[in-house]
Amino acid sequence: MTMDQEIWKNLPWFANGRLEEADRSGLHREIERHEPLRRSLAWEQTLREAVRLESEAHVAPPGVLAVVLQRIGSESRRGPVARRGASASWLASLFSGWQWTPQLALACGLVVVQLGVIGHLWTA
């Protein structure tokens, strides 16, 4: 591995402070002399800070995980929920409160007969 490759390979370790002191001092001198290394170091440090802030932002308060897992468990015991397509959902919501009883079937049949009689009289 060439010296340049070694420097670029060690740059992330330098940025997070985990590079051994012997390598750190040599790399520090190279960073001071070369602008591309300084820009890359700044980018590495910015990236490191962004990752740190992101990981801190998603820490949930104690007990939240237990509540979520309990809710997931209770919903999974209920079983799968049947889903209908969007075109069937408006029709289902229209008749959601109805039950097909014999009286309702008779009333619907009577409406069909009346429509037939009205249609016949209309065309005659």
Residue spans of the domains in the chain: they are 3-57
Q: Which residues of the chain have pLDDT under 70?
A: 1, 58, 79-88, 91, 95
Instruction: Report how far residue 40's alpha carbon sits from residue 44's, in angstroms, rounded to the nearest whole number.
Output: 6
pLDDT at 81: 65
Provide the CA 55 distance to its chain's centre, in angstroms: 17
Contact 27, 7 (CB under 8 A): yes
Residue with tokens 């520090």, as numbered in its chain: 28
pTM of the model: 0.44
